[in-house]
Amino acid sequence: MIWFDERPNFNMFLSIPSPYLIEVLHAWPVDSFTIDRQHGQFDAAHVRPCIRACKKPVLIRLAANDPTEIGKSLDYGAAGLICPMIENVAATQAFVEACYYPPFGKRSYGPVRVSEPEGYFLRNRQQDDHILTFAMIETQHALEQVEQIAQVPRLTGLYIGPFDLSVSMGLQKPGDYTDPLLQAAISKVYTTCQTNQLKCGIFSPNPNDARNMAQLGMDLISLGLDEQWITQAGKQLIPIPN
């Protein structure tokens, strides 16, 4: 579990596959990290050493809804998975089933990395009900079916991708939280989560938007990504006013 009190879990996406950088980024006051296999620079071989470098819970945003990648990600010790570009109920079911061992699911039993004594997030047959499974709602099609998607058994929550979602909805500007149509979409997903007792997560790289999302009651808020904040900090280095 990654929630210990009433407040949201504040998360940071990682796009740079460096174990050393990840150690350094523990100075940032976030609660968890998400290794981004979809748009980050992580290849499969990068994931294991980077998870090992993390002393906070690690989620993995999958590159695709693929049972092999799902099994390996959990074997490495991910606390949970975020599955991108979910389109419908069948894809959500396939995702969740790939996360669980039989009899509920179809995951293959191979406790390699996670059986190591120093592993942070031990997973075994008994513990697999703690896996966090987030289905990303980031297409118009998924938004239309969100009530059905939310009823897939053992889904932990829905995770909103405001950038893809606004592109898919044909909105003017990607990820513009001031757009009333995107606001309505966010509200629809959030309300669906409330109705179905699911957690709701969102990618929110602008601090003002993130604050509003925390006020709304979001459970998981990703505050952007490593390269965004490193770049931003670097731009303020020279102590001369322009």
Binding residues for Mg ion, per CB under 5 A? 138, 161, 164
Query: Is 85 or 96 the residue whose CB approaches ligand 3PY more closely?
Result: 85
40 binds, among Mg ion, ligand 3PY, none (CB under 5 to 8 A by kind): none
Q: Which two tokens stand for residue 198?
A: 């699911």
Query: Is 70 or 221 the residue whose CB approaches ligand 3PY more closely?
Result: 221
121 binds, among ligand 3PY, Mg ion, none (CB under 5 to 8 A by kind): none
Min CB(158)–ligand 3PY separation in Å: 13
Q: Which two tokens stand for residue 44?
A: 């499969």
CB 95 within 8 A of CB 61: no
Min CB(220)–ligand 3PY separation in Å: 12
C-alpha distance from residue 72 to each of 59, 69, 100, 110, 238 (Å) = 13, 5, 12, 9, 44
Min CB(121)–ligand 3PY separation in Å: 22
Query: Is 124 or 208 the residue whose CB approaches ligand 3PY more closely?
Result: 208
Query: Is 70 or 142 the residue whose CB approaches Mg ion more closely?
Result: 142
Query: Is 69 or 138 the residue whose CB approaches ligand 3PY more closely?
Result: 138
Q: How does strand 80-83 pair with strand 9-14? A: unpaired
Min CB(164)–Mg ion separation in Å: 4
42 binds, among Mg ion, ligand 3PY, none (CB under 5 to 8 A by kind): none
Min CB(38)–ligand 3PY separation in Å: 7
Nearest residue relative to ligand 3PY (C-beta): 161
177 binds, among Mg ion, ligand 3PY, none (CB under 5 to 8 A by kind): none
Residues that bind ligand 3PY (CB under 6 A): 138, 161-164, 175, 203
Query: Is 53 or 165 the residue whose CB approaches Mg ion more closely?
Result: 165
203 binds, among ligand 3PY, Mg ion, none (CB under 5 to 8 A by kind): ligand 3PY
DSSP collapsed to 3 states, the chain: CCCCCCCCEEEEEECCCCHHHHHHHHHCCCCEEEEECCCCCCCHHHHHHHHHHCCCCEEEECCCCCHHHHHHHHHHCCCEEEECCCCCHHHHHHHHHHHCCCCCCCCCCCCCHHHCCCCCCCCCCCCHHHCEEEEEECCHHHHHCHHHHCCCCCCCEEEECHHHHHHHCCCCCCCCCCCHHHHHHHHHHHHHHHHCCCEEEEECCCHHHHHHHHHHCCCEEEEEEHHHHHHHHHHCCCCCCC
Min CB(162)–Mg ion separation in Å: 8
